[in-house]
Amino acid sequence: MCGIVGYLGNQEAAEILVDGLKKLEYRGYDSAGIAVYDGENSKILRSVGKLSELAKLVDTNQPVGVVGIGHTRWATHGKPCLDNAHPHSDCTGKFVVVHNGIIENYLHLREELIEEGHKFISETDTEVLAHLLEKFYDGDLVKAVQKTVATIKGAYAFLAFTEHEPDRLVAVREDSPLVVGLGEGEQFIASDIPAILKHTNRVYILNDGEMVDLSRDAVKLMTVKGEPVKREILTVDWNPEMAEKSGFEHFMLKEIHEQPEALRRFLTGRLNEKGVHLEELNFTVEELRKYSKIFVVACGTAYHSGLVGKYVIEQLVRIPVEVDIASEFRYRSPLIDKSTLVIVVSQSGETADTLAALREAQGRGARVVAFTNVVGSTIAREADQVLYLRVGPEIAVASTKAYTAMLMAFYIFALYLGQIRETLGSEDLAKAVSAIKEIPAQIEKIIVNNEEPIKQFAERFTQFEDAFFIGRGVDYAVAMEGSLKLKEISYIHAEAYAAGELKHGTLALIIEGTPVIALATQKSIYEKVLSNIQEVRAREAWVTAVALEGDEEIKKSADHVLYIPDTLELFTSILAIISLQLLAYYASKLRGCDVDQPRNLAKSVTVE
């Protein structure tokens, strides 16, 4: 999705803008640009492709000025090209805008503006904003923005500058995130916190229907109708290094390695001698006892965490759990009411389908708990209750540390429910809590033991175009995540199957040398999985197994074994996925793919 950055202060703006845009690369983009006001004119520089192209342009042109706006564009209206890259300006060149999201009525507005004599250069919906500002401006940019907002329809955020008032930036948010960073004699604005974290950790998060009027020494928050808004300053406790690569070649590898620390942070204060302690959730005991059904709704990796969550909650709490893909849930008239608890899961907290599902569930009377990573995100703000993942910024498009934190969220939420609904005895609870406390160190051990061997045999993956992941029970849910990880970053076609289902069709695809990754971590169904592995071995598949330490039997059926430490059967998922993340990473790297920004994908999917 697109990224916005703005700066107003006393430093050279160009460098701050390009640097901020780099921190937003994870959102996905196909072109980029900045506009810097030099005291007389706004110099606009735009490029197609990677930000390094824009950085080169900045080096050559050396734009001078202490106020500016910048943007990374992920095309929605009009192809990725120079004319369509932001910033866009009006006929006079005196108004410049950058914009995220979609202006739904832009075609109609564009025709009207053309009739009135405005000249358009791009195919974008964004350009109407610049012309509307030109049309409505009567000496006050805030008023022109308000009139523009009253004219447009859609889901968007935009940031505007005019040479008529060069000491001012004005931005508005409607369904697309914006964060204001507060400095001393300087102000920042961006789509996400990492873009400004280097300069300040004091921020305001804008809500839908709000705008901000920035000058060097003042930040005025208001509704789009002009009513003043009071907001507490949020102090972000991420340090700038947390948003950088810290010496790793890619963000994904760094984020895989960060998992033990991230999970320790997740657990801090949430476990005590009595069990699970979730202060941030303010359910009453009566409320938690009344729920007769749980829905988990999410997309992609977050959805896969829900598939594991279903096993865990159903086993520990004995409540039926349905897991839905958010884009399906919202259109299928789901059977939910006040006795249903809905859990939405989203790393970014901005995924459009998940947000719509949340609203759908609330509209039908259900209470919604969000498991999310981003404080102040739309999902966090709209959910009735929030359990934060606390993993710090996840930059790589492929989700890793957020996924394991989502799994952890399901584990402890299930224990929390089991505690309150008394489906869990104190002994079982104590066992589960002690198993959970071991997990961060067990992940450290897996990375130390398995990374090198995975690097070696990932080499062989460079030759394949297809791979299969199989497992039963919780292992099947993990197989789905392992398969998604491999395909999204290495572009190897991968499928996950319930191991027992292979012989009902898919086995026909298994021939000599076909890579099969078999998960065999579930003791209660171990023999069954072993038989399924034999089925693919008999067709001369190349088998890599993920199994529990001490399992010597598996060596007879697999070409490679990636061991994980033993834990409770319900919690193996969080350990088993680590090797699959590493496998996907090294396969992608060795195939020469863009690991952190795979083709066609974006980190935060804020359109339907």
**Residues in touch with ligand AGP (CB under 6 A):** 299-302, 346-348, 351, 354, 397-399, 488, 601, 604-605
Q: Write down the catalytic residue from 23, 254, 401, 603.
A: 603
Report the residue number whose CB is nearest to ligand AGP. 300
Q: How far is the CB of 373 from ligand AGP (least distance, A)?
A: 8
Q: Which is nearer to ligand AGP, 42 or 348 (CB)?
A: 348
Question: What whole-number distance in Å separates Cα of residue 257 and Cα of residue 215?
Answer: 41
Active site residue 603: yes
Question: What whole-number distance in Å separates Cα of residue 585 and Cα of residue 579?
Answer: 10
Q: How far is the CB of 16 from ligand AGP (least distance, A)?
A: 27
Pairing of strands 169-174, 154-162: antiparallel
Question: What whole-number distance in Å separates Cα of residue 343 and Cα of residue 303?
Answer: 11
Q: Write down the catalytic residue from 2, 135, 401, 485.
A: 2
Q: Which is nearer to ligand AGP, 162 or 588 (CB)?
A: 588
Query: Interior CA angle at 264 toward 258 and 268, to 5°?
Result: 145
487 Cβ neighbours under 8 A, 6+ residues apart: 493, 494
- Do 395 and 251 touch, CB atoms closer than 8 A? yes
Question: What whole-number distance in Å separates Cα of residue 66 and Cα of residue 169?
Answer: 12
Q: Which is nearer to ligand AGP, 200 or 347 (CB)?
A: 347
Q: How far is the CB of 462 from ligand AGP (least distance, A)?
A: 21
Q: How far is the CB of 208 from ligand AGP (least distance, A)?
A: 18
- Do 84 and 78 touch, CB atoms closer than 8 A? yes
**Phi, psi for 377 (deg, rounded to 5):** -70, 165
Q: Which residue has the tokens 């358009």?
A: 120
Whether the bond between 87 and the residue before it is cis, its omega within 30 degrees of 0, is: yes
Q: Which is nearer to ligand AGP, 27 or 131 (CB)?
A: 27
Pairing of strands 67-73, 95-103: unpaired
Segments of 426-537 assigned E as strands:
466-471, 493-498, 515-520
The separation between CA 76 and the C-alpha centre of its own chain, rounded to angstroms, equals: 19
What's the DSSP call for residue 584?
H
Segments of 153-301 assigned E as strands:
154-162, 169-174, 179-182, 187-190, 202-205, 210-215, 218-223, 234-235, 271-272, 275-276, 293-298
Q: Which is nearer to ligand AGP, 397 or 494 (CB)?
A: 397
Q: How far is the CB of 376 from ligand AGP (least distance, A)?
A: 14
Q: How far is the CB of 15 from ligand AGP (least distance, A)?
A: 30
What is the widest separation between alpha-carbon atoms in the chain?
A: 80
Q: Which is nearer to ligand AGP, 516 or 605 (CB)?
A: 605
SS (H, E, C) 405-444: HHHHHHHHHHHHHHHHCCCCCHHHHHHHHHHHHHHHHHHH
- Which value, to the nearest 10 degrees, does the dihedral of the CA atoms of residues 372, 475, 468, 252 take? 30
Q: How far is the CB of 605 from ligand AGP (least distance, A)?
A: 5
Q: How far is the CB of 593 from ligand AGP (least distance, A)?
A: 14
Other Cβ atoms within 10 Å of 9 Cβ, number: 18
Active site residue 2: yes
Q: Which is nearer to ligand AGP, 84 or 348 (CB)?
A: 348
Q: Which residue has the tokens 């916190």?
A: 193
Question: What whole-number distance in Å separates Cα of residue 39 and Cα of residue 95?
Answer: 14
Q: Which is nearer to ligand AGP, 72 or 354 (CB)?
A: 354
Question: What whole-number distance in Å separates Cα of residue 441 and Cα of residue 228?
Answer: 49
Q: How far is the CB of 116 from ligand AGP (least distance, A)?
A: 41
Q: What's the half-sphere exposure (Cβ side, CA atoms, 13 Å) at 423?
A: 16
Q: Which is nearer to ligand AGP, 131 or 304 (CB)?
A: 304
Catalytic residues: 2, 603
